Chain A
Amino acid sequence: MKEGSIIATDWDEPAMVDWIAQKTRARSVYVQNQVYYPYLYIQYRLQQTGGLFRKKGRIACTVDLVSGKEAIADTMPVMESRWVPVENMIQEGVQREEARKRAEAYVYASLSVGLKWLGTPTLILEEEEICYRPFWVMSCEWERADPAKIVVDAVSGRYHPLFT
């Protein structure tokens, strides 16, 4: 077992199974496993130095610590410290320092794309934490289609089929 900051979820297992069965119209859905996926959560405060339209506020980004993929985070996640089985934690492949650089570049790029010629603000680091997002691995079966395994984001309820 290992302690980690786990992103809290409002979903419990039976509710998520019902949700997936309803969404995919599967004849049967059952949970095979639960895993914890590592991200770097990083939050900046915007400090506008110029530009026609001044933007204030905060912007947050997550970096997938396995493949390095970045995303803009909409809200600050609620985290809880928990002990989880080590074998259910996905191994990190990206160092914290590298993830921090990626996050900064990504946020700058996102802002410049959004603000265009109006100028990109300076970013002041406010908060940074490694956290784990829980995913369920589920098996689904249908009457007229091949069975499939899917991963389900336990926070948002979004899912993606596994490739095999």
Chain B
Amino acid sequence: MNLELCIFTVYLVVLLMIGYLSSKRASQSVDDFLLGGRSVGPAVTAMTMQGTYMSGYMFMGGPALAYQQGWYALWYAFSDAGGSIVNISVLGKRMRRLSERLGALSPVEYLGKRYESSLVQLIASIISIVFISVYVFAQFIAAGKALTSLTGMPYVPALTVGVGVIVLYTVFGGYLAVVWTDFIQAIIMVLGVVGITAVALVHLGGLTELNHALTRIDPTYLSIWGKDLAYQGQWGVVLGAVLIYSIGYMGLPHVVVRHMSMQSPKTARTAILWSASWNQLFVFAPYLLGLCGIVLLPNLSDPEMVIPELAYTFFPGVFAAILLSAVMAAVMSTSDSLLMQAGTILSRDIYQRFIDPKADHRRMVWVSRLLILFVGVVGVAVAAFEPPSVFQLVIFGFGVLGNSFIVPYVASVYSTKANRVGAIAAMVSGAVTHILWTEWNFEAVTGLHPFIGGLVMSILGMLIGNFFGKVPSQKIQQEVEGAKKGRNISRDLDRHASRELAPEARNIELHFRSSSEVRPT
């Protein structure tokens, strides 16, 4: 066995052990399985969010875009850099507060309870499962390519092995396993990519020399409008590239559920700092490596292989093994989070609610696992035959999820009047618009990114739909108002509060409200 394969194998075994040991801890309750007991702190929350989000796309899709379009690709990096800050600060605290008040365990259940509608929950569930799967397929392709590069195995067997590891890991671990392994993987990703970028830039003589070299090849690589000025003057496309992450971030169900795992709403403030620091360290490096690839690998046949090829052509084997372990780490962390989310949505929000309300918990766990297996099998088939590029799949899946959920989530915590018809209209119009815009290539005709089209239609759907539906009940309006208020609670009180007592606290409060004021004894 060669050195690279040894390093990679040890790495995977350690990850699986962490997953197994953590899953043993997750035996206290089904809440632990679904949400890690809502007990992870701000540093871990922020890092795992990024670990989930910085997927195989960042190692293959992002560098490939930079390799093909030059500095234009950095629009997506700027978007990434601000994404987590916008996400946690806009949604984090309020959604945590409101989900506690509503007693919701998953983000889809949250939408159903907030909008008081089973149909909202069903539509959200279907959109989530389908497009989370699309996103997962992109990770499978990245896993196959990374393993091929690392082991020299043919693509399809490498893909099957990679997906097998991911599915096993997801089925035999709980969310808690995912959270902690994501955290460790996030650290490795930073070290791997930043290290390789530093070596590549030193090799080229620095950033200025890189730009000089790019100018000599084709000056338009330095343009903000893309190679050959392909997007010149198309501000709608550039705006879409920026928004798809910085706003689109908020729409992903698997990202939002992690907010509910934080110790208390106040941890969101600290999570922003952690998240921002981690992001700045990582987010630009893969794109810079794509630019380095233009100079160093001028005859590359598959642009998505920029990073593996750079690693093997110019760096020692140990570096390559570490980097490719980081690629697999990114792929695994993203895939298992997404698969867990899809499994949770199917078992809780569709199966138990609409198919078999009397299903016991044992059956629900099995339903969840069968879906994970199904997505794994279909994923291998999609990734093995006619695989699209990682970039195309991620942007498409991300865009549809973002367009479906951003508006209903934001409206759910910021507007007491947002109702079920508005939410359904926003989800459906956002998703359908994004799909058709992409399929019929409206971007070429309008100069607008599909994400902009979907966002505008989703907002319109919410605004118009709200005129037709019933106003939310008085109870929901009160809960939304309650979740809006940020009280100046003592830090010490908040830090030691026991989250598990939230239902009791809520019910005791309601008891006193219904009888009379709390009377001193």
Q: Interface on A for B, CB 8 Å cutoff?
A: 23-26, 30-35, 37, 64, 66-67, 69-72, 87, 90-91, 104-106, 108-117, 120, 135, 137, 140, 142, 144-146, 148-151, 153, 158-164
Contacts and interface: CB of A to CB of B under 8 A. Distances in A.
**Which of A66, A116, A135 is packed against the most chain B CB atoms within 10 Å?**
A116
B507 A163 contact: no
Interface string B479-521: 0001000011111111011111111111111011001001111
Nearest 4 Cβ contacts at the A-B interface: A114-B27, A109-B361, A160-B501, A158-B498
Contacts of A66: 503-504, 507
A112 B504 contact: no
A32 B518 contact: yes
B395 interface: no
Interface residues of B, number: 48
21 contacts: A23-B496, A24-B496, A25-B492, A26-B493, A33-B512, A66-B504, A71-B29, A110-B27, A110-B28, A113-B26, A114-B27, A116-B23, A137-B512, A145-B488, A151-B508, A153-B504, A159-B497, A161-B494, A161-B505, A163-B482, A164-B482
A148 B489 contact: yes
Chain A interface, >50% SS class: mixed
A109 B364 contact: yes
Given A64-B504, A71-B500, A72-B28, A112 B362 contact: yes
Contacts of B506: 67, 163
Nearest to A149: B518
Contacts of A145: 488-491, 493
Nearest to A102: B361
B493 A24 contact: yes
Given A113-B26, A148-B493, A137 B508 contact: yes
Interface in B282-339: none
Contact of B505 (A23, A72, A163): A163
Given A137-B518, A164-B482, A117 B172 contact: yes
B362 A24 contact: no
Contacts of A23: 492, 496
* Best-buried of A90, A106, A145, A160 by chain B (most CB within 10 Å): A160
B36 to A, nearest CB: 12
Contact of B504 (A111, A116, A151): A151
B198 interface: no
B489 to A, nearest CB: 6
B24 A114 contact: yes
Nearest to B359: A105
B33 interface: yes
Given A113-B33, A116-B23, A145-B488, A164 B509 contact: yes
Contact of A33 (B29, B488, B518): B518
B508 A24 contact: no
Contact of A161 (B101, B482, B493): B493
A13 to B, nearest CB: 9
A38 B519 CA distance: 21
Nearest to B492: A25
Contacts of B361: 105-106, 108-110, 112
Nearest to A25: B492
A45 to B, nearest CB: 18
A90 B33 contact: no
Contacts of B497: 150, 159-161
B360 interface: yes
B402 interface: no
B365 A113 contact: yes
